[in-house]
Structure 1
Amino acid sequence: MYYNHLSAADPTIAKLMKGEEHRQITGLELIASENYVSPAIMEAMGSVLNNRYSEGYPGRRYYGGQEFTDQIEQIAIDRAKALFRCEHANVQPHAGAPANIATYLALAEPGSTILGMELAHGGHLTHGHPVTHVAKIYNFVRYRMSDVETGRIDYDEMREVARREKPKILLAGFSAYPRELDYKVMREIATEVGAWAVADVAHIAGLIVGKQLANPFDAGFDVVLTTTHKSLRGPRGGMILSREASTGKLIDKSVFPSFQGGPIMQMVAAKAVAFQEAARPEFVDYAAQIIANAKTLAATLMERGARLITNGTDNHLMLVDSVSSWALSGGVAEKRLDEVGITLNKNMIPDEPRSAMDPSGVRMGTPALTTRGMKEAEMAQVADLIHRTLSAKDDNVLPGIREEVIGLAKRFPVPGISLPAGDSLA
């Protein structure tokens, strides 16, 4: 991208954005929650729709001039419903966290109990971590892995907790759990205690619509929450899906006017484009390759002596005990890999003994590199680069590894991004 107008209006910001482009092109993106969007989605995000206020819903707006925005949002809704096979979709949430909170407020009165996964065992901040405001509104109780070597969750224990605590919402979902949840059993537990069954599939939405992982709606879940980026490969935003239209009415009222203002219409348009892309047959191949790549990356790291939580992965991500693997904290490992152009994030591990700002683990995932066209052979190479970087005793080897990273990245372009003529990948 050339940023002609931006370069003239604000050369400082333009220069920084070009720097980020260069970083993306010459680096290897392993953050499990990140991906690259298509040029079509990029165009929708930077469009005239930014100029519109569209508070309300299609056919029920608070502003005039909604002829085209109504059609765009309805198309996004219809495509989302078809993808996830449900009766209702709200495509307006600005991000995943607001989608989660709006859902809690729709389905549970303040003070109610919500049963979700513990953060250090793979859950998300919005699933009730004490640092969040939502934890002051609801009483969160948690389930966790009973065996971190396999990732097994004790569903009998979950049932006992649910019977004792009587949650209003039973929340299935995670941000750093490498295995699949048993939605059928969780639905049964929710039914037994009279709870809403809600799934947060923000990380794995693309793997669900790509027919590689189970759809919670098939197990009878009431609501599915998701972001629209990550493995779904769309713009940054959120979405709330409901199995029944009656539940969707509660969700709609909670999103607007109760929780947030009007939708960001350029992002709604970009979501519609992303849903169309995800409905194509080739997206199934993409989703399958994400998992194949993750399994290869995990297996190769373990061959190099790395300790992976649950000893592998069933989805797109893996959690590595960096302290046990390379005698480096997660924060140090993250910074060391940044030096060679490999990007991932520090992450807590089960029963974390260190602080959240410098925990024992790192999290990595394969959606972004899979989007660039990398397959199993490249994943084995990436695992080797990671291991050599983190096990190096001499920082003098890092520039050489950086050159190898650039060489690999050069072979697999980032969709929609290219360097201006004359610029180099050095």
Structure 2
Amino acid sequence: MTLTTATAAANGADYAATASQAYQAALSVIEQVEPRIAEATRQELADQRSSLKLIASENYASPAVLLTMGSWFSDKYAEGTVGHRFYAACQNVDTVEAIAAEHARELFGAEYAYVQPHSGIDANLVAFWAILANRVELPELAEVGVKGINDLSEEQWESLRHKFGHQRALGMSLDAGGHLTHGFRPNISGKMFHQRSYGTDPTTQLIDYDQVRAAAREFKPLVLIAGYSAYPRRVNFAKMREIADEVGATFMVDMAHFAGLVAGKVFTGEEDPVPYAHIVTSTTHKSLRGPRGGLVLATKEYADSVDRGCPMVLGGPMAHVMAAKAVALAEARTTGFQTYAQQVADNAKALAEGFTRRGATLVTGGTDNHLVLLDVSGYGLTGRQAESALLDAGIVSNRNAVPSDPNGAWYTSGVRLGTPALTTRGFGADEFDRVAELAVDVLSGTTPATASNGKPGKARYVLADGLADRTKAACAELLADFPLYPGLQL
């Protein structure tokens, strides 16, 4: 069942027609002020309707979620928390934030939820600083007998700042599937922490928990981070919590990519991070299928520190996006969403099997979450060449590093493909097998090209004659049976 079909069933047969009228009216208003923006908006929908969207971090939000963001809540400043704002007349923002947090707590079984972060990196920054406040700042204040950091002397404050800047974090390496925001130097998190990484087993490319334990014992991090953006397997969070407890680390999980699989009860037991982590961060889009934004879940002991996200890290919360988060989280609490989440995982397996059957090489040999990571070096291509060739043929993916990648993080040797978006459109196993067939045809029909200086180029490539047009036609035929936002006419 597609997202739009499911929503229509819940809200009446005229749902699509009502949404269509709403968007036509909105674009008509926009057109009177800046027609180019209205046209770009129409074109974006046309482009999304006509391409195979396989970017693992993208999805299609419901019309209800999208329409919720276009309201006068956008005009409100509301620094602070529910019932404790630094601006007047925030009673309706309080209502919105409280509802969104309630849905998040109930959906994930969390003790506390914070729905203000604007993005995934903001959610991670809130979590990192909450951990520092809870583990470093509060003990320091208790030691000197003052109530807050403003009461510290300059000398005491310098000592505390030094402690903030010399803490350790241990997270998954980028080439193993980790994320830039988990302590890597180009990101602000890498400037906050002294960071080390754990990787995967060179043979299986799976997490080796004994290796993680050994790294934690040797490094003794303040924060042990789990979570990924390009690891195609599930994680045993119970084992990770054992390791964190053994070395006295706070256990943090970034579930931005797989939050929808947690919400949809595909990941349960030791594969559900919420019962085991002190703090869990997430985005609200990706597999959760909501608006672009962030989310923090925490145990009660970290709640007060997380609540200081504004002004600690964040500026004014975006009330219109929090409202959309509330709508998306309400959608995620339905049985229909659980069916969708299971289909996302089933479709990823079908996609992986389709690639393997056609001789492609997958990192870890397959998947049991929502994504596959394809090693394209066997086609003689870099990830950048493969990404661009697929895009020319109507298949939207993104290049990604593979373990021990010889091409680095820019050109890479891999391509990451995810199933959440096309599952929202109604694709099943047969359609994803066809997707694998089309992708393999494109990659097999692409050859590297030399640069103007005659040297091999890591970005240049040539597609076989007619291959792009043939594949686009095949994509259009495949997509025709699964329209995006059916009935929505602009």
TM range (shorter): over 0.9
Q: CA deviation at 1:359?
A: 1.0
SS of residue in 2 equivalent to 1:124: coil
The 5 Å alignment of 1:73-222 reads 73-108=97-132, 109-147=164-202, 150-213=204-267, 214-218=271-275, 220-222=276-278
Aligned residues: 415
Unmatched segments (≥5 aa) in structure 2: 1-22, 133-163, 447-463
SS of residue in 1 equivalent to 2:290: coil
SS of residue in 2 equivalent to 1:89: strand
Match of 2:408 among 351, 355, 361: 355
Change (3 A) 1:26 1:140: same
State the TM-score, normalized to the length of structure 2: 0.83
State the TM-score, normalized to the length of structure 1: 0.95
The 5 Å alignment of 1:6-405 reads 6-108=30-132, 109-147=164-202, 150-213=204-267, 214-218=271-275, 220-243=276-299, 245-253=300-308, 255-324=309-378, 326-392=379-445, 394-405=464-475
Q: Deviations over 1:329-377 (max 9, x none)?
A: 1111111111121100011111011132211110000000000011001
- Distance in 1 between residues matched to 2:233 and 2:352, nearest whole Å: 13
- Distance in 2 between residues matched to 1:157 and 1:338, nearest whole Å: 38
- Distance in 2 between residues matched to 1:103 and 1:90, nearest whole Å: 10
Q: CA deviation at 1:235?
A: 0.4
Q: Deviations over 1:192-223 (max 9, x none)?
A: 111111111000001011111121123x2211
Amino acid at match of 2:106: A
- Distance in 1 between residues matched to 2:343 and 2:129, nearest whole Å: 37
**C-alpha contact 1:38 1:416 (8 A) present in aligned 2:** no
- Who is 1:406 aligned against? 476
The CA RMSD over aligned residues, in Å, is 1.4
**C-alpha contact 1:294 1:366 (8 A) present in aligned 2:** yes
**C-alpha contact 1:114 1:170 (8 A) present in aligned 2:** yes
- Distance in 1 between residues matched to 2:319 and 2:465, nearest whole Å: 48
Q: CA deviation at 1:322?
A: 1.1
Amino acid at match of 1:128: G
Change (3 A) 1:184 1:322: same
SS of residue in 1 equivalent to 2:55: coil
**C-alpha contact 2:393 2:467 (8 A) present in aligned 1:** no
Amino acid at match of 1:304: R
**C-alpha contact 1:147 1:153 (8 A) present in aligned 2:** no
- Who is 1:424 aligned against? none
**C-alpha contact 1:151 1:178 (8 A) present in aligned 2:** no
Q: CA deviation at 1:137?
A: 1.9
- Distance in 2 between residues matched to 1:238 and 1:371, nearest whole Å: 21
- Who is 2:144 aligned against? none
**What percent identity do the matched residue pairs reach?**
42
Amino acid at match of 1:249: D
**C-alpha contact 1:21 1:417 (8 A) present in aligned 2:** no
- Who is 2:7 aligned against? none
Q: Which has the larger radius of gyration?
A: 2
- Distance in 1 between residues matched to 2:245 and 2:465, nearest whole Å: 56
Q: CA deviation at 1:17?
A: 2.2
Deviating 4+ runs (over 4 angstroms)? none
- Distance in 1 between residues matched to 2:366 and 2:194, nearest whole Å: 33
Q: CA deviation at 1:12?
A: 2.1
**C-alpha contact 1:151 1:179 (8 A) present in aligned 2:** no
| Bigger shift: residues 33-42 or 66-75 | 66-75
- Distance in 2 between residues matched to 1:59 and 1:344, nearest whole Å: 44
- Distance in 2 between residues matched to 1:306 and 1:7, nearest whole Å: 47
Q: CA deviation at 1:419?
A: 4.5
Unmatched segments (≥5 aa) in structure 1: 421-426
- Distance in 2 between residues matched to 1:410 and 1:113, nearest whole Å: 51
Q: CA deviation at 1:417?
A: 7.7
- Who is 1:423 aligned against? none
